[in-house]
Structure 1
Amino acid sequence: MPTLKCYVITLAGYQTQPSEAILNSMISPLFRSRRLVTTFCLLTSSVGYANASEQVELAPSSIKATARSQDVEHLDSVSSAGSRLPLTALQTPASTSSLDGDEVRSRGDANVQQAVARSPGITAVGAPGDGGTALSARGFTGQGSVMQLYDGSRMYSSMGTVTMPVDTWAIDRIDVLRGPASVLYGEGATGAVINVIPKKPFEGDIENHLRLGYGSYDNRQTALDSGGSLTDQLSYRLNLNQLHSNGWIDNGDSQSTFVSGALHWQASEDLSFTLAHDGGNQRPMNYFGVPMINGRYHEGLRDKNYNIENDKQHYDDQWTRLTTDWQISDQVASSNELYYLTSHRRWQNAENYNWYAATQQLSRSGYFSIKHNQEQAGDRQTFIFKHSLAGLDSQSVLGMDVNRIRFKLTNNSPYDDVNPAGDPVDIENPAAGRFQSASPYSELFKSTTRQLSVFGENRTQLSDQLSVITGVRRDYVDIERNNLRDDSRTEKDLIGNNWKVGLVYALTPDSSAYAQYSTSTDGVGSLVSLNPTQQQFDLATARQSELGFKQMLWDQRLEWTLAAYHIVKKKLLTTDAGNPDLTQQVGQQSSDGLEASLKLQLPQDWALTANAAFVRARYDQFDQSVSGVAVSRDGNTPVDVPKRTANLWLDKQLGSSVQIGGGLRYVDSRYADIANTSKLPAYTVADASLSWKALRNTTLGLQARNLFDRQYAASQYNGGQQWILGEPRSLYVTADLSF
């Protein structure tokens, strides 16, 4: 008979907790709820575990630093993409995928957005205002619906902006979970979750990897990857990457520095600590696109920059984390992560460029000066149990996380320009000019957001072939906002309840079919920066039904997946049709789609990777205020959502030292405004790569992006009046030395 035990889980365990004063300030307003404490105790006390001979296996973050692995991830590899439990993709009732870091770098993908856009159904739609990192997935877009994590942790987006990580050099892999994932990570995960996993310390001899790179537009790179054992118990990993570029537009200079370091201490056979710090400093190419002339794009404007000469765009992100992994017994494992994250961002630009047909004149306006200061302290505690449930083999995860986020916004709102009609600019030879604003630059508000959640997940083996996976999560959020200009104060409490249930049927050891139902919640804006009007509303809610199939064939030489889904999101903010001055939370949008992926190892050292996705997204109930009149947008397609996307990559190994590869990226047309009057055309872009192992420890590489120099709109700005163009054809040469 299984033994039932109750564990009282607190954040005071181990020696990784913040000081008592900090912890109390983070959670005390939320722990006043007795329902939360009761819920968590009931979840914890319900777990019974099996006999001592069956040891629980931790999820991808393990107790020990392992030897460095070069294994290719397959559908039967344990992955953190779709669950906190140590499940393989075949055991997970969701559409997941993983991108290997070496593969990402070999294809020339310089940032996470370029890399993840090669996975099924994900499109990069970033612009400078969101940090250039926004994504579109399953009909939903932006930081409020497509969540981005770093090593499983989340910095809450402020004003719709996320600026971490910086590049792909320090990435071990990128895990992608498509569809609602609030049951795992909280609000803001209706479309997908992207989890960037950095390189980890490993046991063994110290290995060093140096990269020097140079390419088109004076792109330069100096990078180092070093890791290994310092002692029998201590191992490390250090990654440094410095990038510089003159850019492919006028005055398009950019530079970035990223440092990722981790120290792993194996205190005992069952206990380990990992201290990690990741920091990025970026000055991206400050580019808001080219204006449409009479609604059309003119190819001669491709390299023009209409921004000012004293523009600013600077991001500084610092993440410090302490992780404790403890194998309590053969049946119980614990993981605790304490973290402190900061982000400082600064913009100063002229962002809007509008063409007036009547005067045949380009006008530059929208002089915005903005600063974000954000700090986030948090702790996440999870327990994994291996147990029996009604005599059936079962695994459970129980946990809680807590965050305190402080955010301050400084800007020049209401953004009145010195010249209300805008400044005239020569479209062929734009004079840079300087920043000017009729509105003073001053502190606008500061906010303190406290978040606390409890969550649980379970997998029970109902039979040799059938398993059920369930999950539940409850979030409490308290937001306090202080207007620093008029000293007014507002406060809002939000509660999010999410759950999922999925069935997986193993048709064979190498194939499975699944069905899943899951829910999610999104804020009506970024939670930490909700304005007083937005604070009047609840979280938007979504639900998804999904069916899928996954299979490996021919001794894992062929893998393919197929998923079909239906998502409905409710409680959108919409204009009151009877009174356009009022906003109601009654809007609804939905999406239906298909996603397919294929990996195939062909004879004679050929390898093929391909995927395709189709989505039909629409507003079911949505009114927009236009000049004080409520206009129905029912049936329209949301902004930045392509109906079809596809990716193809083909590799060929030539002997033992040369590998060539090439691929295509296809993105369908997208609407740039809610009215669906402005459209970005579809595009197909070709890329290629070549690597040659010239010496035992030296590899030379060549990457070509946009091989046929296609001119295309990667994203848009200013309601589609400006196209943010994709990079022209570029070549990049690398030299990698190992020692």
Structure 2
Amino acid sequence: MSRHFKLHTLAACMAVSLPALAEQPQGKVLDLPSTAITETRDEQIVDLATPTQAGSRLNLSALETPASTTSITAEQIQQRANLTIQDAVTRSPGITSVGTPGNGNTALSARGFTGHASVMTLFDGSRLYTGAGTQTFPVDPWMVERIDVIRGPASVLYGEGATGAVINVIPKKPFAGEIRNHLRLGYGSWDRQQLGLDSGGSLSERLSYRVTVNKQEGNGWVDRTDSRSLALSAALRFDATDDLSFTLAHERGDAQPSNYFGTPLIDGHLRDSLRKKNYNIQNDVQRYHDEWTRFNTDWTLSDSVTASNQLYYIKSRRHWRNAEDYTWDPTREQLERASYLEIKHNQEQIGDRQSFTFDHSLFGLNSKTVVGAEYNKIRFNVDSNSPYNDVGGDYVDPWNPAPGGFQSRNVTRPQTLSTTHTFALFAENRTQLTDRLSLVTGIRRDQNHIDRNNLTNDTRVDRSLQGGNWRAGLVFAVTDNLSLYGQYSTSEDGVSNLISLSPSQINYDLTESKQTELGLKQRFWDGRGEWTLAAYHIVKKKLLVDDPISHEKQQAGQQTSDGLEAALELDLGHQWQVSANASVVRAKYDDFDETVGGAPQDRAGNRPANVPRRTANLWLNKGFGQTVDAGIGLRYVDQRYADTANAYSVPGYTVVDANLGWQVLPDVRLGLQLNNLFNRDYVVAAHSGEQWLLGAPRSYFATVDYSF
């Protein structure tokens, strides 16, 4: 423990030794016309030449980054009828949703790896550690300025839990200038209502602010699925000098989402007559409360040295009380309703990240280096009615289900309390080897210590898990607008979420992943178009497998993923714009055993659950003068399996969405969003092999935007 205390002290010293990184220079923007006015400021489209934090802390553009990245702007989110952040992210290459109520409806799949343990979500560059597979913030796109996606292993940037991808949600920031306000009123299908406000600007010469508030509610397309949410984001920026600034920000989310846990299959088939039936109990509870407070300091120490610090505090409270499983009993011709679960999460996290950026010379070559440290302390408490050993449940008529009430012989009580300390040192470097060739490298060392208390029997276990990752990539600029890259990177995941490892899981090492990736990126037609292509090979080792003799878990399994991803952005002229992408992945277990009913089962060669082979997205936009624009797009997701045995398959789907906008006055815009235009029945995710979560039927949502 003394070593851990020294690491803690070093983190604290670095946190207060210097404030933070200065404002980064603006890059070029893609010269694509925009007719939609959906923000309080003039929007800039992020293109391949725009510096972002998507794939590096070095503020490189996509053309300079040896990785597959995507940036999604607030304007694109609004235009494409995306109701959630996950909707927006899954329009980028190779990302699909595997969201269910149990994981907060926020889990994603990328490059053959699924869930919050392998696809990480950040907010403003910082990580909320996921407990028990659940993350409930952020989910409201109204507060979002941009979403950056880096695909493939990224533990060298953000630590364990980032083998598939990292999603960085960047909130709207204060800006200098005249105060501008944006008010939105919306109404749509199933009595969906929205009231949103976005306000920002300068309060004085050196003080600026940004406030967003969004309230939504609706009745839901499934019986008894009312929902409501309130999201708040507020930030105040003080420019103490031209070289030093401070930003205090606070975000809050309160949500009571739909209590829909899926539609059961009857004899293995989906019945359309059950599509809108709700089998959950009458006194269900789903309630999420999240708060995120940050203090950022940006400081330019000299022409060649800048510093950045972010101190943050995160709090999450979650409560579920539901009957979650509905199974068809052909003998009784009724559904057995079971899995009466009540779970409460109480999570707090305090952390600090300090980094320094140096522009310098290395062996006579132009070079840029970022070094830094990060510390987190996470307290995670779970109350539940575990051990969930109620036998059976009650039977309901599938076509006329009685709501009933929560029933369990197990009392909800405090179960576990864990405290996790994490400390990391990291560094990145970009060196210009020649006029056209650059080397981008990174290294990170993590120290994690977990203390877990079982509150039911007053026992305690603890474990230290160390991790180290690195990345090396070469980028060759064939021209100023065409780059070819190759990279090798490593990554680590926990066998489950780090802060909620069970007593048996806590003894295992972190899993290990290695990726080789090659890619091509190009801007063409004088910035009117761009395309990217990436090919990758990932090997993940130390998966948990069953010993065929003792049936105990061992870390001997392996999974591989091979894939291709392509994306195209194109301005065709005459106010026509096209955005398209597609991906193909071949993911399989090379070595994986699991015990079913006491007998070992070999899953080698099987595809992991919730991983489609092919995905594609298309969005076509057309402007009509300066006042009207329209868009239509499709989302395609291939067939998936619902289990590791590949015994249950989930059908693929293609869904078409559309939007229409009319700038009736300089400050007033009318909008109409149409989702699932052709009213397709489709499965978003599988709660189990015999219970599917369906997508919403055709719906509309009309908006009025007023800027003043």
| TM-score normalised to structure 2 length | 0.96
- 1:648-702 per-position Cα deviation (integer Å, ceiling 9, x unaligned): 0000000110000000000000000110010110100000000000011000000
Match of 1:180 among 153, 156, 166: 153
Residue 6 of structure 1 corresponds to none
Match of 2:405 among 425, 431, 434: 434
Residue 264 of structure 2 corresponds to 291
CA contact (8 A) 1:247 1:253 kept: yes
Residue 517 of structure 1 corresponds to 488
Compared CA separation, residues 488 and 257, structure 1 to 2 (3 A): same
CA contact (8 A) 2:366 2:432 kept: yes
Question: Is 1:235 the counterpart of 2:208 in the alignment?
Answer: yes
| Deviation of 1:357 (Å) | 2.1
| Deviation of 1:80 (Å) | 0.7
SS of the counterpart of 1:78? Answer: coil
- 1:615-674 per-position Cα deviation (integer Å, ceiling 9, x unaligned): 000001000101111110000000000000000000000011000000000000000011
Alpha-carbon distance in 2 for matches of 1:301, 1:93: 48
Residue 410 of structure 1 corresponds to 383
Compared CA separation, residues 603 and 142, structure 1 to 2 (3 A): same
Question: Is 1:247 the counterpart of 2:220 in the alignment?
Answer: yes
Question: Is 1:380 the counterpart of 2:350 in the alignment?
Answer: no
| Deviation of 1:68 (Å) | 4.7
Alpha-carbon distance in 2 for matches of 1:305, 1:691: 35
CA contact (8 A) 1:345 1:371 kept: yes
Match of 2:436 among 457, 465, 469: 465
Residue 285 of structure 2 corresponds to 312
Question: Is 1:447 the counterpart of 2:418 in the alignment?
Answer: yes
| Deviation of 1:579 (Å) | 2.1
- 1:488-541 per-position Cα deviation (integer Å, ceiling 9, x unaligned): 000010001000000000000000000000000000111111111001101001
> What pairs up with 1:204-603 in 2 under 5 angstroms?
204-417=177-390, 420-580=391-551, 582-603=552-573
| Deviation of 1:358 (Å) | 2.9
Question: Is 1:732 the counterpart of 2:701 in the alignment?
Answer: yes
Match of 1:616 among 579, 583, 586: 586
Match of 2:53 among 80, 88, 98: 80
| Deviation of 1:108 (Å) | 1.6
CA contact (8 A) 2:327 2:336 kept: yes
> What pairs up with 1:96-175 in 2 under 5 angstroms?
96-175=69-148
Alpha-carbon distance in 2 for matches of 1:667, 1:90: 28
Residue 30 of structure 1 corresponds to 4
SS of the counterpart of 1:87? Answer: coil
Alpha-carbon distance in 1 for matches of 2:191, 2:10: 58
Alpha-carbon distance in 2 for matches of 1:731, 1:442: 43
SS of the counterpart of 1:330? Answer: coil
CA contact (8 A) 1:57 1:86 kept: no
| Deviation of 1:57 (Å) | 7.4
| TM-score normalised to structure 1 length | 0.92
Gaps in structure 1 of 5+ consecutive residues = 1-26, 45-55
Alpha-carbon distance in 1 for matches of 2:632, 2:691: 31
- 1:379-418 per-position Cα deviation (integer Å, ceiling 9, x unaligned): 000101000100000000000000000010000001132x
Alpha-carbon distance in 1 for matches of 2:434, 2:3: 45
The letter of the residue matching 1:332 is: V
The letter of the residue matching 1:642 is: P
CA contact (8 A) 2:619 2:633 kept: yes
Alpha-carbon distance in 2 for matches of 1:223, 1:603: 33
SS of the counterpart of 1:639? Answer: coil
SS of the counterpart of 2:127? Answer: coil
Alpha-carbon distance in 2 for matches of 1:519, 1:59: 28
| Deviation of 1:231 (Å) | 0.2
CA contact (8 A) 2:120 2:165 kept: yes
Alpha-carbon distance in 2 for matches of 1:69, 1:529: 44
CA contact (8 A) 1:539 1:571 kept: yes
Alpha-carbon distance in 2 for matches of 1:59, 1:157: 30
SS of the counterpart of 1:531? Answer: coil
CA contact (8 A) 2:22 2:300 kept: no
Residue 687 of structure 1 corresponds to 657
SS of the counterpart of 1:306? Answer: coil
Residue 52 of structure 1 corresponds to none
Question: Is 1:715 the counterpart of 2:688 in the alignment?
Answer: no
SS of the counterpart of 2:4? Answer: coil
Compared CA separation, residues 37 and 403, structure 1 to 2 (3 A): closer
Alpha-carbon distance in 2 for matches of 1:242, 1:425: 35
Alpha-carbon distance in 1 for matches of 2:25, 2:416: 40
| Deviation of 1:361 (Å) | 2.0
| Deviation of 1:31 (Å) | 4.2
Alpha-carbon distance in 1 for matches of 2:522, 2:26: 26
CA contact (8 A) 1:688 1:703 kept: yes
CA contact (8 A) 1:58 1:333 kept: no
| Deviation of 1:319 (Å) | 0.2
Figure out how many residues of one structure are paired with residues of the other and give that number. 690
Identical pairs, percent: 56
SS of the counterpart of 1:30? Answer: helix
Alpha-carbon distance in 1 for matches of 2:633, 2:380: 42
CA contact (8 A) 2:23 2:298 kept: no
| Deviation of 1:60 (Å) | 7.6
CA contact (8 A) 2:22 2:307 kept: no
Compared CA separation, residues 368 and 29, structure 1 to 2 (3 A): farther
- 1:26-47 per-position Cα deviation (integer Å, ceiling 9, x unaligned): x97624469x979x99xx9xxx
SS of the counterpart of 1:169? Answer: helix
| Deviation of 1:106 (Å) | 2.1
Alpha-carbon distance in 1 for matches of 2:312, 2:262: 37
CA contact (8 A) 2:326 2:335 kept: yes
Residue 624 of structure 2 corresponds to 654
Alpha-carbon distance in 1 for matches of 2:211, 2:683: 37
- 1:532-587 per-position Cα deviation (integer Å, ceiling 9, x unaligned): 1001101001000000000010111110000000000000111112222x110111
CA contact (8 A) 2:609 2:640 kept: yes
The letter of the residue matching 1:112 is: I
CA contact (8 A) 1:176 1:193 kept: yes
Alpha-carbon distance in 2 for matches of 1:558, 1:329: 37
Alpha-carbon distance in 1 for matches of 2:466, 2:85: 31
Q: CA RMSD in A?
A: 1.8
The letter of the residue matching 2:440 is: I
Runs of 4+, deviation exceeding 4 Å? 56-62
CA contact (8 A) 1:68 1:203 kept: no
| Deviation of 1:200 (Å) | 0.5
Alpha-carbon distance in 1 for matches of 2:3, 2:633: 53
| Deviation of 1:101 (Å) | 0.9
The letter of the residue matching 1:730 is: S
